[in-house]
Structure 1
Amino acid sequence: MRELIRRIAAATPADRDRGVDALRALAILGVMLGHWLVTALVADSGTVRVVSPLHQLPYLTPVSWLLQTLAVFFLVGGQMAATSHAATRARGGTYRRWLGARTARLFRPVVAMLAVWSVVAGALLVAGAGLDTVWTLGKLALSPLWFLLVFAALTAATPLVARLHPLWPLAVVLHIDLIRFGLGGPAWLGWTNVAAGWLVPYCLGAAWARGGLRGRATAWVLLLGGAATTAGLVLWAGYPAAMVGVPGAGISNLNPPTLAAVTFGLAQCGAALLLLGPLRRLLQRPAVRAAVALLNLSAMTLFLWHQTAMMAVTAVGLLTGGFLPGLHTLPDGAGWVLARLVWLPVFALALMVCWAAFRTYEQGRRRGATVVRAGRPAEARAVRRA
């Protein structure tokens, strides 16, 4: 481990902003932990169904405030994409090669995941599993793909939106919600917010790449203004307090994104910018820097397989012949929460098995192969050599 840390530290480019990498690592960890905590697979009557603890235990709602970190990921994604595109243009590179390099690493692990789950779904049906169970498991496993599709679309549009002011997509979200909720407009109109809502933090990231968002005053305005607006929308405009979807709820803040989810994301972006300084100081430690580098090198693999890891543990648990607390039982009390916390390390261990099996699809198979993101090739070779 010391040799790995030394190699990664030596391979890290001096001008790489590790604070940005740390924000992305925190965003990925937040999403994974959030899903593991607010998604319960309940086995009863020969079927498996998804139940949200937030529906049964409303006092867990603050968990969604801490662990729904998608806005931070889009903020960092916008910053990195705009920086990378500007650097490519300065070197005389083409848009086609730039886009191909940035999207290849996103979708190589997706192919492996789709192949595996096609086999799993077929095997479950042959073994006699009901269509409802297979649909539930497959939908849960593939749910991260919506995020990748939106992220890839915004990445492709980077040259067009890099200088777009975030207030424009924010205004679109505001008007869509006014039509949907205030004027009784059609519900399908809300899907416009999938692009417009996540375009807000993405445009903030692009502005950051151009030299904006540098002052702490801007970060505080985003944090306090976004938090106050979100609180007002929840308290007086009827938006749900949970920042994730809750099965059975009349309105979901995330599916599709609402104005409350977007203003909450602005608050998260402000908090992320304020964290940059402390994170950069923490990353002066080689061990911390190596951990962040390793997580970023496998970010998509971990993101794509974390739900599968949870389901694998749940399936193995069913082989014991009983319903294990916190794993198969209904989330109806504090006992379930405590039991679920005990299961989190087991989920993480299962995820490490998935990582070991599928990380090569993200990092490349050949020794010394180039990894597509700026600053990554030397680090990836250091990991493979170690």
Structure 2
Amino acid sequence: MRAAAAKIDARTPAHRDRAVDGLRALALLAVPTGHWMLGGFTPAGDGVLRNASPLTSFGFFAPVSWVLQMLGIFFLVGGYASVLSYRRHQGPAGAWLRGRIARLGRPVLGVTAVWAVMIPVLYAMGVPDTTLRTGSTLVIQPLWFVGVYVAVTTLTPYCVRASRRMGAWAAAPLIGTVAVVDFLRYGPYAEAVPSWLSVLNLLPGWLFAYQLGVCWGEKRIGRRGGALLLVGGAALFAVLLVAFHYPASMVGVPGEARTNSHPPSLLVLALAAAQSGAAILLRDRIGRLLRRPALWAPVVVINLSAMTILCWHQTAMLAAAVPGSFVGTVPGLTEAPDSLGWVLARAAWLPVFAGLLILIGRYARGFEAPWGKVTKTRRAVAGLLAAGFAVFALGLA
């Protein structure tokens, strides 16, 4: 392992920004960890599983979501990396965008097409329809992120122009837009506001951290700006929680009328600002730490498998939970997440889920590579399968 780590370190270009890669890896690992720890199942007998969350029983568990909700960091480093890639690109912006979108789309098409084939097979093997729908919902839920990420990536040229014209202030209109929408949907006139209005927060809510990343890559944010983001974001976060009674959880809680993440509320942007500020301030320290080959090698492996981790981590959990549902009530796996014992047992399952994800990833990583030899017919079939799975997972069939 030391030799492999040293080899990876030696092959790393000198200009590679190790701190940014390290932050991306940290944000990536937070996704499966958060879904595995903050999501569970309620058994209903005969192998039937339904979604459940420990946050329903343990409100004090909400601060864990503040740590595990690191999409702000992901969009920050995404904006930073995109502006560097865009600057290096020789040719029209359209070609650059097509390349970036293809890298995101291939793994999504792969996982949804595979699941479309698996559903009838699993049903024939005796897995209940309810369990299949539960699993399909879990698989497709993280993929919303890819659609949003494609949208903000498409706006990269405009983000660059805004950064060069306004500096870090280019992100201010985005947080202002979210604040206005939040006031309308949660303020004194909320009853007169249509429910669809919250959707207006979707793009500016996630574009905020991406725009900060573009400004960071354009050298329009330094340590002083990072300190202002950290302090200002933390202060706004505290005010929203204490004075305006925003939900404490950064993820949706079953039964709660309000949610912070779907679409993002102002609390999500406050957390993203604080996380972004901390990342900017810690960049040099993280970079020095990752000069050690033993620490740098895992970062490289995680980044090379980014989309595989995102697309397949719920499948890894289901690979343990679905067979377990036929055994009975398995602590931390198919047991209702309503006790502290469940929390401890679920933590013990994390290495199992990680091992299953590594095993699945050995085969699924092929979806991240260019599909140069795949015929148009096969691509069309994969597209139809993916569309069929989406219809099933969204409850439209």
Q: With the length of structure 1 as denominator, give the TM-score of the two structures.
A: 0.90
Tell me the residue number matched to 2:267. 260
SS in 1 for 2:274: helix
Structure 2 spans left out of the alignment, 5+ residues:
163-169, 373-397
Tell me the residue number matched to 1:14. 14
Matches within 5 A, 1:71-150: 71-88=72-89, 92-150=90-148
Structure 2 Cα separation of the partners of residues 307 and 243 of structure 1: 19
Tell me the residue number matched to 1:213. 221
Contact preservation (8 Å) 1:244, 1:252: yes
Match of 1:172 among 177, 180, 187: 177
Match of 1:154 among 149, 152, 155: 152
Shift of 1:128: 4.9
Structure 1 Cα separation of the partners of residues 58 and 271 of structure 2: 22
Match of 2:358 among 337, 352, 361: 352
- What residue identity is the alignment partner of 1:121? I
CA offsets, 1:64-96, max 9 Å, x none? 0110000100000011111111221xxx32212
Structure 2 Cα separation of the partners of residues 239 and 318 of structure 1: 36
1:228 lines up with 2:232 in the alignment: no
CA offsets, 1:193-213, max 9 Å, x none? 111100110100010011022
Shift of 1:127: 4.1
SS in 2 for 1:316: helix
SS in 1 for 2:255: coil
Structure 1 Cα separation of the partners of residues 31 and 210 of structure 2: 17
Structure 1 spans left out of the alignment, 5+ residues:
367-386
- What residue identity is the alignment partner of 1:199? L
1:287 lines up with 2:285 in the alignment: no
Tell me the residue number matched to 1:381. none
Structure 2 Cα separation of the partners of residues 339 and 85 of structure 1: 45
Structure 2 Cα separation of the partners of residues 254 and 244 of structure 1: 6
Match of 2:276 among 227, 246, 269: 269
Shift of 1:364: 4.9
Shift of 1:285: 0.6
SS in 1 for 2:43: strand
SS in 2 for 1:50: strand
CA offsets, 1:32-82, max 9 Å, x none? 111110000222134211111111111211110110000100000011111
Structure 1 Cα separation of the partners of residues 300 and 348 of structure 2: 27
Structure 1 Cα separation of the partners of residues 127 and 303 of structure 2: 36
Structure 1 Cα separation of the partners of residues 147 and 42 of structure 2: 29
Structure 1 Cα separation of the partners of residues 359 and 207 of structure 2: 34
- What residue identity is the alignment partner of 1:181? Y
Tell me the residue number matched to 1:372. none
Contact preservation (8 Å) 1:43, 1:329: yes
- What residue identity is the alignment partner of 2:149? F
Tell me the residue number matched to 1:45. 45
Contact preservation (8 Å) 2:228, 2:277: yes
SS in 1 for 2:259: coil
Match of 2:341 among 335, 350, 355: 335
Match of 2:161 among 155, 160, 163: 163
Structure 1 Cα separation of the partners of residues 117 and 344 of structure 2: 34
Structure 1 Cα separation of the partners of residues 24 and 364 of structure 2: 20
Contact preservation (8 Å) 2:80, 2:215: yes
SS in 1 for 2:161: coil
Contact preservation (8 Å) 2:41, 2:337: no
- What residue identity is the alignment partner of 2:176? A
Structure 2 Cα separation of the partners of residues 134 and 361 of structure 1: 23
Shift of 1:232: 0.9
Contact preservation (8 Å) 2:82, 2:153: yes
Contact preservation (8 Å) 1:61, 1:242: yes
- What residue identity is the alignment partner of 1:355? G
Shift of 1:161: 2.2
Shift of 1:129: 4.3
Structure 1 Cα separation of the partners of residues 284 and 42 of structure 2: 42
Structure 1 Cα separation of the partners of residues 52 and 160 of structure 2: 39
CA RMSD of aligned residues (A): 1.6
- What residue identity is the alignment partner of 1:357? Y
Shift of 1:125: 3.5
Contact preservation (8 Å) 2:49, 2:325: no
CA offsets, 1:229-282, max 9 Å, x none? 111111121210111111111100001111111111111111222221221111
Tell me the residue number matched to 1:371. none
Shift of 1:26: 0.3
- What residue identity is the alignment partner of 2:321? T
Tell me the residue number matched to 1:380. none
The count of residues paired between Structure 1 and Structure 2 equals: 361
CA offsets, 1:109-156, max 9 Å, x none? 112101111012222333454443322210111111100000011111
SS in 2 for 1:250: coil
Tell me the residue number matched to 1:199. 207
Q: With the length of structure 2 as denominator, give the TM-score of the two structures.
A: 0.87
Structure 2 Cα separation of the partners of residues 201 and 28 of structure 1: 16
SS in 2 for 1:162: helix
